[in-house]
């Protein structure tokens, strides 16, 4: 097949290094368009990953505004389900045909796409406006090897979401602040009201707050160390185990776990779940929350070390092979302005990534966003490495076997650790 000669490869790498030294964004096209950005023209395809029905219209409206401002640019809106977008983008991007110009990339995908050369470096380009205004957590997810490859669009994290009425009936006016309180509250709910206290979702991402709470993590990126099998994490897994065995949380289903936990909360069959802002619109459709005031949102309960949850969210990235990079720059810039973020926050309660956006009256007026703002301060950025996406499956399998009683906490982490060593070969 096409095997470049080593010399050619070296030259290519050298050229790459040179262009890197020169600092990104010095491509002539955007420089020319700076004189009058509204004159850029062309056709753009954007892969959006939001829910087409409930969230899509807001983005479509933003596209209309963009096209009004840039009359010579046509944006093709394509909605790709979030669980397929990553795979499809990889397939299309490597072929050089069929990839979109702009993709809404999950925070964890960005470094992976960037490492594979699929994304356009954005430093100094028109796509990034006032980078210092972005929240540090989401912003860190856009960097790879010191360069910027995306612009944060929305952010999120996990919180404790609860049914105020059930907690009150169990004698708790306030949501639990620590894991110990969580267990007690859950047991009280079960004893006094007969429904489940806490519904767990068997998913790796939802395990992270427990690990962070004990001071654990999956990787130590700075030292290139795999730290998943640590005493802190063993303690965290014991905590989860204990929540189930003590009856604070009923034994969760491992398939459809998310949907079942959500349904339990919506129908008043469980008092508390861990979930993020994206779930709110669905929760409000539940019969327990016809009165929105019955829904409580609090930071995740603290472990013995701290209260912390993972940073999630979405970035906008530009395909390096795009034929319309200047127009794509303008589009990404437009979609991440304070105004655009405020509109998104106001209409569909997704959290802005710009610090200044939280001072916008539209954002302040949205109670869900307002509630999540302080919780975001406790969010922990995940290791933004290209292999990041591969870390979840081993952990999920471990979590499933823990819940199924097939392996104990220490056992399970040992297995996860082994699998991580297979993925991250040169890590210690």
Partner 1 sequence: MVSTRTRPRGERGPLASAGLHAGLLLAVAISLFPVVWLVLTSLKPRDSWLSAELQLFNDSSLDNYTRVLTATQFPQWLLNSVLTAGLTMVLGVFLAATTGYAVSRFRFPGHRSVMWLLLITQMFPVAILIVPLYNLMAGLGLLNQIPGLVIAYMTIAVPFCAWMMKSYFDTVPIEIDQAGMVDGLTPFGVFWRVVLPLARPGIAVTAFYCFMTAWGEVGYATVFMSQEDKRTLGVGLQQFIGQHWSDWGLMTASAVLIAIPAGAVFLLVQRHLITGLTAGATKS
Partner 2 sequence: MAVSTGRSSGGPAAGESARGRSHRDYRPGRLRRSIATHWYAWAMVAPVLAVMLVLIGWPLIRGVYLSLTDATEANIGRTIGVNVIPSTYEFVGLDNYLQILTSSLFWDKLLWTVVWTAVCVGLHYGIGLGLAVMLNRRLRFRSVYRVLLILPWAVPAFVAAFIWRYLYNSDYGVINGFLKLAGIGGVGWLDDPTTAKIAVIAVNVWIGVPFMMVALLGGLQSIPAELYEAAEVDGAGPWQRFRAITLPGLRQVSGTVLLLGTIWTFNMFPIIFLVTRGGPGSETEILVTYAFREAFTGIRNYSGSAAWGVIILAMLIVLAVGYRRTLRSQGDPW
* Cβ within 8 Å of residue 280, ≥6 positions away: 161, 295, 349, 368
Q: List the structure tokens of 159.
A: 């919180």
Contact 297, 368 (CB under 8 A): yes
The answer to whether residue 31 forms part of the interface with partner 2 (CB under 8 A) is: no
Given the DSSP bridges, would you call strands 159-163 and 295-298 parallel, antiparallel or unpaired? antiparallel
> Residue for token digits 């069959």?
269
| Residue with smaller CB distance to partner 1, 58 or 230 | 58
Q: Is residue 115 near partner 2 by the rule CB under 8 A? A: yes
Spatial CB neighbours of 48, under 8 Å, sequence gap ≥ 6: 56, 59, 77, 78, 79, 80, 104
- The yes or no reply on residue 84 touching partner 2 (CB under 8 A) is no
Choosing among partner 1, partner 2, none, which partner's interface includes residue 374 (Cβ < 5 to 8 Å by kind)? none
Please give the backbone phi and psi of residue 373, each rounded to the nearest 5 degrees, phi first: -55, -55
Collapsing DSSP to helix, strand or coil, 167 comes out as helix
* Minimum distance of partner 1 from residue 296's CB (angstroms): 20
**Interface with partner 1 includes 267 (CB under 8 A)?**
yes
226 near partner 2 (CB under 8 A) = no
Indicate which single residue of 123, 238, 282, 347 sits in contact with partner 1 (rule: CB under 8 A): 282
For position 393 contacting partner 1 by CB under 8 A, the verdict is: no
Residue 19 in the binding site for partner 2 (CB under 8 A): yes
- Shortest reach from residue 223's CB to partner 2, in Å: 21
Radius of gyration for the alpha carbons in the chain, expressed in angstroms and rounded: 23
Give the one residue of 20, 77, 115, 305 binding partner 1; rule: CB under 8 A. 77
Q: How do beta strands 73-79 and 42-48 pair? A: parallel
Between 13 and 359, CB nearer to partner 2: 13
CB of 199 to partner 2, least distance (A): 9
Element of type H or E holding 46: strand 42-48
Contact 413, 234 (CB under 8 A): yes
The SS3 call for residue 73 is strand
Binding site for partner 2 (CB under 8 A): 1-4, 8-10, 12-13, 15-16, 19, 27, 87, 90, 93-94, 96, 112, 115-121, 253-256, 259-260, 263-264, 319-322, 325, 386-390, 393, 397, 400-401, 404, 406, 423
Binding site for partner 1 (CB under 8 A): 51-53, 76-84, 88, 91-92, 94-98, 100, 258-260, 263, 266-267, 269, 278-279, 282, 285-286
């Amino acid at each position: 097949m096409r095997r470049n000669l080593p010399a050619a490869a070296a030259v290519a790498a050298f050229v790459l290094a040179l262009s890197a030294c020169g600092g990104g964004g010095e491509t002539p096209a955007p420089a020319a368009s700076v004189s009058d950005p509204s004159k850029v023209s062309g056709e753009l395809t954007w892969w959006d990953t939001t829910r087409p029905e409930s969230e899509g219209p807001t983005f479509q409206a933003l596209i209309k505004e963009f096209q009004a401002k840039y009359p010579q640019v046509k944006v093709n809106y394509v909605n790709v389900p979030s669980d397929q977008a990553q795979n499809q983008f990889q397939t299309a991007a490597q072929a050089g045909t069929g990839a979109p110009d702009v993709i809404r990339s999950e925070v964890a995908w960005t470094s992976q796409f960037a490492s594979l050369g699929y994304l356009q470096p954005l430093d100094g380009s028109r796509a990034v406006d006032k980078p210092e205004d972005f929240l540090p957590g989401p912003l860190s997810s856009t960097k790879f090897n010191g360069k910027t490859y995306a612009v944060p669009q929305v952010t999120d994290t996990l919180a404790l979401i609860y049914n105020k009425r059930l907690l009150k009936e169990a004698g708790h006016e306030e949501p639990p602040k620590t894991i110990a309180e969580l267990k007690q509250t859950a047991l009280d709910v079960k004893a006094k009201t007969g429904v489940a206290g806490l519904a767990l979702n068997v998913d790796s991402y939802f395990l992270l707050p427990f690990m962070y709470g004990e001071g654990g993590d999956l990787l130590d990126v700075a030292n290139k160390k795999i730290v998943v099998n640590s005493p802190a994490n063993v303690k965290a897994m014991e905590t989860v185990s204990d929540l189930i065995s003590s009856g604070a949380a009923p034994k969760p289903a491992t398939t459809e776990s998310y949907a079942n936990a959500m349904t339990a909360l919506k129908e008043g069959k469980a008092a508390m779940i861990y979930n993020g802002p994206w779930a709110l619109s669905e929760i409000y459709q539940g019969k327990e929350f016809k009165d929105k005031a019955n829904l409580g949102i609090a930071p995740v309960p603290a472990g013995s070390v701290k209260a912390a949850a993972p940073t999630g969210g979405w970035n906008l990235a530009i395909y390096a092979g795009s034929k319309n990079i200047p127009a794509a720059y303008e589009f990404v810039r437009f979609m991440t302005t304070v105004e655009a973020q405020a509109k998104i926050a106001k209409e569909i309660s997704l959290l802005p990534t710009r610090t200044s956006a939280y001072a916008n009256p539209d954002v302040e007026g949205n109670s869900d966003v307002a509630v999540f703002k302080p919780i975001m301060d406790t969010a922990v950025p995940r290791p933004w490495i290209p292999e990041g996406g591969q870390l979840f499956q081993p952990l999920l399998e471990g979590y499933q076997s823990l819940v199924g009683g097939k392996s104990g906490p220490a056992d399970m982490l040992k297995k996860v650790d082994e699998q991580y060593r297979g993925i991250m070969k040169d890590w210690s």
